[in-house]
Structures are given as structure tokens and as C-alpha cells.
């Protein structure tokens, strides 16, 4: 049977049908303009189209994201209300999704037990299930809620990023499967953490580890500080870039090992020869726009390519507008001035994790004076390149 014998009968008599059922080069070119979800549906039309669709999917290596802000008119968070529609428009097959929302509006339940009883929750187990249904089977979804959000609006890498310390905001960054890049999610609580678990997650004894994005919830609980040190001590000895923060809650993935109110950590371990990273620490002394820009400009020394590069900003809730004499969006604007074509995402949290560090192909540069990865009233500004 030829590739086009199963092509719809009502098209077989036209010239266009002949081309679309026989000329793979034309079909493949057309399919490059089709969003991925539609591409997967089209792949079921005939064998030729399926083969062309598979080849197109292998070329879709660009990162994509969906962002939302402002009050939602629905019963769900602003991000959740548009995500289903926007995912239909992306040109990649997501392998990993990193979603962040503000905890004030989202009021997640999965790991957050300190809820405002008077306020109706806009999150439920159904929300997590709906997120899972939006993305391919086997896609790893990490959902985080934090006091504030930093995002780049959907549509263009060059759109100015925005800081949201108040109000409804959220984003979902989608990572495809990429050659030379391995993204592995991890989750530990006091019951599951062990040297073996750290090794299985690729966080220790992994010479290919380049970047770790790490987020700790309920860290203020008794034993939380010791637990966090148990995670960070081996990471501090590695040559990887470590960046993240202390957050409010995690809503995906749902886990059943944690008891009510338990502390824990989630994150992404990025390994592989094509991964590069760099970060700088905006410490407590940096409190005006010029100093912030000068510090962020030091990231230029890493000479990281623009393509498939993301910026991450992990800031203290005590910074932002109040820290800069009521000037809004200072640090996000400074990043955009230095890196106008790199999208920026992140959060305002209850503590920051990171230091000055550059991770390149064959070397690591770090601030040797930094004796701790944990900070307060700072901002960790990070670049992550994925080949």
C-alpha cells in the first residue's frame, strides 16, 4: 500500500489532492505553519502526512510560553482560563512544563494547608487534572504558587517583562524534548530524601549537571532549615548553577508522601552538553536602578547565545517597588535593557537561593566568597540556555 492510498476519497480527483498526497516536500513545508496540537490531529489523515508531521515535530526545538495577568472573569485563575486556548497555538510538543502563579489569587491546595477559610479557593484537584489533560501523556508538569510573579507577556521574546507583586498573574513555560538537553523534575520531602534519591534525581555524582532550579515550600516549619541544608550542601559543592527560592506552595505534581503541613522541595535538574547558565546576585546594598543594571550587565560576560535562552528572576518579597522608592518594575526593566530579546520569568518569594556563577561548555566560574546559597532581601538573576 502506498503512502497516499488512505487519503480521503473526495480529494483524490483534484490536482491539489495529488500534490498533498504525493509530494512530501510540499506537505512538510505546509505543516511547518501548523500548531502542534493541530499537527497531531492532521497526522491521522494519511500515512504521508503522518510521516511528514513526525519530521516537523523533530524540528520544533524552540521554547514557548503562555502568560496571563489581571483579574479573571471565571472561577479559575487567569492563567488557567486561557491556557487551553493558547496551548492550541504553540509550535512544540511539550516534554516539561514549569508553571508559576500568584498564591493570593490561586490559593493552591496540593501542598498549602494554611488557607484563608473565608475565601473560596480557585484551585481544586480538578484543576491539576485539567492541566494534565492539556498536555501530552508523559509530560512533566511542575506548578508553583508564590507571593509574586515575574513574566514576559505571551507572543514575543522582546516584549518587556513585568513584575507583579500584587494582583493576579501567572505563566507556563513549555520545554520540548531537545537533543543534548535532559530536564529531570524532582521532589523530596523529609520522608523521601536520601543520598540515593539525590543521585537518582541527577543532583549528585552527575558530571553532566549544569543547572538546578529549586523551590522549597513550608521551609519555615520546624526542621525545614535543616532539611534545606541537607539539599543545598551537596549542590553547593557541585559545578552546577543553583537558582530558586522559598515559595508558598506546590500544586503539581500531586504527591501523597507528604503529611499535612510538611516541608519539601521541588525543582528541575538540567543536564547535558548544550546547557549553559549564568547568574548574578543583586544583594541588599543594591537599591537604585543604575546599580541593578550594572549588576545584571555582568551576565554579559557569559556570552550566552540569545536563541533558546530564558531569564529567571527570583526576588525577595521585600524588594520590588518598596525597595526602589516606589519605582515599579526596576529589576525587570534593567534585565530587558541588557537582554532585550530574552524573555524573563520568575517569582517573589520568602527567600532566595543562588550566587554569582557562570556555567559554560568546559568550565565554571563562581564567587568563591559566597559561603551560602541562601539569601534574604536579594534577587538572583539567571540566564539558562538550552542549545
Residue 363 has pLDDT above 60, yes or no: no
Residue 343 has a pLDDT of 97
Arithmetic mean of pLDDT, 282-287: 92
In this predicted model, what pLDDT tens digit does every residue of 218-257 receive, in sequence order? 888 888 888 888 889 888 888 899 999 999 988 887 766 6
Residue 362 has pLDDT above 80, yes or no: no
Residue 258 has a pLDDT of 66
Residue 365 has a pLDDT of 59
Is the Cβ–Cβ distance between 268 and 349 less than 8 Å?
A: no
Residue 124 has pLDDT above 60, yes or no: no
Distance between CA 162 and CA 148 in Å, rounded? 11
Q: What are the structural domains, with CATH classification, of the chain?
A: 15-59 (1.20.1280), 64-385 (no CATH)
pLDDT band at 112 (very low <50, low <70, confident <90, very high): very low
Arithmetic mean of pLDDT, 124-145: 81
Q: Are strands 182-189 and 140-146 parallel, antiparallel or unpaired?
A: unpaired
Arithmetic mean of pLDDT, 164-173: 93
Phi, psi of 169 (to 5 degrees): -160, 155
Arithmetic mean of pLDDT, 25-54: 82
The three-state (H, E, C) secondary structure of the chain, written as one string: CCCCCCCCHHHCCCHHHHHHHHCHHHHHHHHCCCCHHHHHHHCCCCHHHHHHHHHHHHHCCCCEEEEEECCCCCCCCHHHHHHHHHHCCCCCCEEEEEEEEEHHHHCCCCCCCCCCCCCCCCCCHHHHHHHHHHCCCCCEEEEEEECEEEECCCCCCCCCCEEECCCCEEEEEEEECECCEEEEEEEEECCCCCHHHHHHCCCCCCCCEEEEEEEEECCCCCCHHHHHHHHHHHHHCCCCEEEEEEECEEEECCCCCCCCCCCEEEEEEEECCCEEEEEEEECCCCCCHHHHHHHHHHHHHHCCCCCCEEEEEEEECCCHHHHHCCCCCHHHHHHHHHCCCCCEEEEEECCEECCCEEECCCCEEECCCCCCCEECCCEEEEEEEEC
Alpha-carbon 254 to chain mean position: 18
Residue 15 has a pLDDT of 76
* Cα 142–Cα 148–Cα 149 angle in degrees, nearest 5: 60
Is the Cβ–Cβ distance between 175 and 94 less than 8 Å?
A: yes
Per-chain mean pLDDT for the chain: 84
Residue 120 has a pLDDT of 40
More confident residue, 16 or 258: 16
Residue 110 has pLDDT above 50, yes or no: no
Amino acid at each position: 500500500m502506498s503512502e497516499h492510498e488512505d487519503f480521503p476519497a473526495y480529494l483524490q480527483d483534484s490536482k491539489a489532492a495529488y500534490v498533498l498526497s504525493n509530494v512530501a516536500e510540499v506537505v512538510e513545508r505546509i505543516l511547518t505553519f501548523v500548531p502542534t496540537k493541530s499537527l497531531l490531529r492532521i497526522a491521522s489523515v494519511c500515512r504521508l502526512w503522518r510521516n511528514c508531521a513526525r519530521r516537523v515535530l523533530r524540528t520544533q526545538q524552540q521554547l514557548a510560553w503562555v502568560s496571563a495577568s489581571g483579574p479573571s472573569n471565571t472561577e479559575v485563575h487567569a492563567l488557567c482560563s486561557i491556557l487551553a486556548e493558547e496551548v492550541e497555538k504553540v509550535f512544540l510538543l511539550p516534554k516539561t512544563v514549569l508553571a508559576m502563579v500568584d498564591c493570593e489569587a490561586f490559593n493552591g491546595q496540593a501542598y498549602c494547608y494554611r488557607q484563608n477559610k473565608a475565601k473560596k479557593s480557585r484551585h481544586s484537584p480538578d484543576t491539576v487534572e485539567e492541566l494534565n489533560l492539556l498536555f501530552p501523556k508523559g509530560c512533566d508538569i511542575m506548578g508553583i504558587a508564590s507571593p509574586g510573579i515575574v513574566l514576559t507577556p505571551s507572543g514575543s521574546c522582546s516584549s518587556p517583562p513585568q513584575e507583579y507583586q500584587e494582583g493576579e498573574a501567572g505563566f507556563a513555560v513549555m520545554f520540548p524534548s531537545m537533543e543534548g538537553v535532559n530536564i529531570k523534575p524532582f521532589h523530596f520531602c523529609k520522608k523521601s530524601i536520601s543520598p540515593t534519591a539525590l543521585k537518582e534525581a541527577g543532583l549528585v555524582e552527575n558530571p553532566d549537571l549544569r543547572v538546578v532550579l529549586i523551590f522549597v515550600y513550608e521551609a519555615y516549619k520546624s526542621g525545614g532549615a535543616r532539611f534545606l541544608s541537607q539539599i543545598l550542601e551537596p549542590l553547593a559543592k557541585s559545578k552546577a548553577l543553583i537558582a530558586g527560592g522559598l515559595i508558598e506552595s506546590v500544586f503539581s505534581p500531586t504527591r501523597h508522601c507528604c503529611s499535612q503541613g510538611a516541608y519539601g522541595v521541588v525543582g528541575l535538574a538540567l543536564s547535558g552538553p548544550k546547557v549553559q547558565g549564568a547568574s548574578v546576585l543583586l544583594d541588599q546594598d543594591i537599591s537604585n536602578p543604575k546599580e541593578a543594571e550594572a549588576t545584571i550587565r555582568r551576565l554579559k560576560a557569559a556570552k550566552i547565545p540569545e536563541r533558546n535562552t530564558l531569564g529567571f528572576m527570583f526576588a525577595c518579597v521585600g524588594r520590588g517597588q518598596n525597595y526602589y522608592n516606589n519605582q515599579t518594575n526596576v529589576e525587570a526593566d534593567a534585565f530587558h535593557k541588557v537582554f532585550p530579546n530574552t524573555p524573563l520569568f520568575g517569582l517573589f518569594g520568602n527567600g532566595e537561593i543562588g550566587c554569582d556563577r557562570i556555567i559554560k561548555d568546559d568550565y565554571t566560574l563562581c564567587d568563591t566568597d559566597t559561603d551560602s546559597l541562601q539569601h534574604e532581601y536579594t534577587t538572583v538573576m539567571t540566564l539558562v540556555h538550552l542549545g
